[in-house]
Amino acid sequence: MELIYNSTRNKEEKVTASQAILRGLAPDGGLYVPAFIPALDRDMKEFAGMTYQETAYEVMKLFLTDFTEEELKDCIAKAYDEKFDTKEIAPLVEKGGVYYLELFHGATIAFKDMALSILPHLMTTAAKKNHAEHEIVILTATSGDTGKAALAGFADVPGTRIIVFYPKDGVSPVQEKQMVTQKGDNTFVVGIRGNFDDAQTGVKKMFGDRKLGEELAKGGFQFSSANSINIGRLVPQIVYYVYACAKLLASSAVAEGEKINVTVPTGNFGNILAAYYAKNMGAPIGKLICASNENKVLYDFFRTGVYDRNREFILTSSPSMDILISSNLERLLYRISGEDDKKDAGLMEALASGGRYAISEEMKGELADFYGNFATMEETAKEISDVYRESGYILDTHTAVASAVYKKYVRETGDAAAKTIIASTASPYKFSRSVLTAIDKKYESMDDFALADELSALSGTKIPPAIEEIRTAPVLHRTVVRTDEMEQAVKGFLGI
Ligand SMILES: *Cc1c(COP(=O)(O)O)cnc(C)c1O
């Protein structure tokens, strides 16, 4: 049966999975959502015996129903190969009674690789299926990790160009160096004078600009997105939750049917939404624990039912979560409103005009699966230090936010018996300064590359190629623009 996708803001807008991936965002500014969430058609015991690639096929086939088996398997084989430094692709590591799901074994050592390794293949397959006439221009805003993962995925992919906007002063030195050294004739990297929300708002505006769309078409181009607003980002992220639950069953860490809590360090709400979809498909997931840093707009939302972005934007030690407009929350609102597109459009209108909306008591009642909390920078540093001293395991700052919030959850609810998966979203090598100074102040005076060596010695792990590469790589991208110059920059790159 074909699964149709519609816009969260208009149910009449109906497209196939491949069309939704090609477009990225619906014409009305809404996000594409499946008409229903399909149920897993294998039981967890069967999943327990599967490889990552087999799991990926069994999960993704349920969402991407207009892809043939051959097409989908081909995309999966090209994505989850030796780019990952472990055959397991997403290993589970048990430390101190919790299971860290390491999602950073891909080419750019952050969890964005899990979806962005496959998105270019899904996109080019979708373009072929739909006889797309125009070259695809991937327009992306990044809080630090999506940018590099998308660049790595789309570099030199025929029929595509990629333009990445990042907050010039809002990413880690390693994140910036990774992006501005990107090779490939079809890649463009631009720093903006603003924060991630400014970058994301600018990108969404260009998507919705009809006149710009026409100019693009005349030049032989069409936009798509590599951000988690693209359903092609979200679907591959569901896979590792099913995979992790199955691995816990395979190792007898849980009994059949036993519910597992999932804790996710959250920014744009894409990763945790994938866990929510996995739960709704039938994966044995209990609570969805949403962990924020000091930009705790989601924590406030889960406590009060009011989403309010009118607050100071704080630059933290977990920059990939420095976000006040969590785009994917729109997909959750759509679900908990009983798939009410008018309601959703109204809330999003209120967010765009006043920066704030309140949900009804009825909708709030549908949020029982979620628990929200946050960790300050100080608490995050302490968590890195505590976990290191207890187990020798070194967390990156984002994962440490989740780990600290998980402990708050246990203290607040007393729910210590349930097993927990913590999504480990980045390698500590990406944030070595924050990570090491959390462990010992003596690292403060060292330069970034000396820090990588120290981290290697301390953790007993090899410096990943992603870090080795940028030690000597030349800077190839130097453009920096104001937020009102983003469109001009795009036109300049495309020569239109
Ligand atoms: C993107 C990112 C997050 C946040 O994920 P969302 O899907 O945007 O909620 C957390 N940690 C790291 C390291 C990231 O790169």
How high is the pLDDT of residue 380?
A: 98
Out of 73, 112, 183, 247, the active site residue is: 112
Element (H, E) at 420: strand 420-424
Residue with tokens 């069309």: 19
How high is the pLDDT of residue 381?
A: 98
Print pLDDT tens along the chain (496 aa).
Answer: 899 999 999 999 999 999 999 999 999 999 999 999 999 999 999 999 999 999 999 999 999 999 999 999 999 999 999 999 999 999 999 999 999 999 999 999 999 999 999 999 999 999 999 999 999 999 999 988 999 999 999 999 999 999 999 999 999 889 999 999 999 999 999 999 999 999 999 998 998 899 999 999 999 999 999 999 999 999 999 999 999 999 999 999 999 999 999 999 999 999 999 999 999 999 999 999 999 999 999 999 999 999 999 999 999 999 999 999 999 999 999 999 999 999 999 999 999 999 999 999 999 999 999 999 999 999 999 999 999 999 999 999 999 999 999 999 999 999 999 999 999 999 999 999 999 999 999 999 998 889 999 999 999 999 999 999 998 999 999 999 999 999 999 999 999 9
Pairing of the two strands 479-482 and 187-193 = parallel
C-alpha atoms less than 13 angstroms from C-alpha of 300 in its C-beta half-sphere:
17
For ligand 1, atom 2, name the residue with the nearest CA.
320
Of 140, 268, 297, 396, best ligand 1 pocket probe by most atoms within 8 Å of the beta carbon: 268
Instruction: Supply angle C-alpha 235, 240, 246, rounded to 5.
Output: 125
What residues pair up with 420 in beta bridges, in sequence order?
Answer: 261
Cβ of 321 below 6 Å from ligand 1: yes
Measured in Å, residue 113 CA sits from the centre of ligand 1 at 11
| Residue 258 three-state SS | coil
Element (H, E) at 386: helix 377-391
Measured in Å, residue 398 CA sits from the centre of ligand 1 at 8
- The distance in angstroms from the start CA to the end CA of the chain is 42
Give the C-alpha separation, 322 to 171, whole Å: 9
Tell the burial category of 334 from Cβ atoms under 10 Å away from its Cβ (0-12, 13-18, 19+): buried
Give the C-alpha separation, 246 to 252, whole Å: 10
Give the C-alpha separation, 472 to 474, whole Å: 6
Q: Which atom of ligand 1 is nearest to the CA of 267?
A: 9
How high is the pLDDT of residue 241?
A: 98
Element (H, E) at 391: helix 377-391
How high is the pLDDT of residue 233?
A: 96
Cβ of 79 below 6 Å from ligand 1: no
Rg (CA), the chain: 21
Pairing of the two strands 160-167 and 285-292 = unpaired
Is there a catalytic annotation at residue 112? yes
Are 459 and 435 in contact by the 8 Å Cβ rule? The answer is no
User: In angstroms, what CA-CA distances link 173 with 113, 301, 343, 350, 482?
Assistant: 19, 31, 41, 36, 20
Give the C-alpha separation, 228 to 159, whole Å: 21
Give the C-alpha separation, 394 to 8, whole Å: 40
Q: Which residues of 253-267 are buried (b: 16+ CB within 10 A; e: fewer)?
A: ebeeebebbbbbbbb
How high is the pLDDT of residue 45?
A: 97
Measured in Å, residue 129 CA sits from the centre of ligand 1 at 31
Cβ of 145 below 6 Å from ligand 1: yes
Enter the tokens of residue 248. 């816990």
Instruction: Supply angle C-alpha 92, 281, 269, rounded to 5.
Output: 65
Measured in Å, residue 271 CA sits from the centre of ligand 1 at 7
Question: What's this model's pTM, rounded to 2 decimal places?
Answer: 0.96
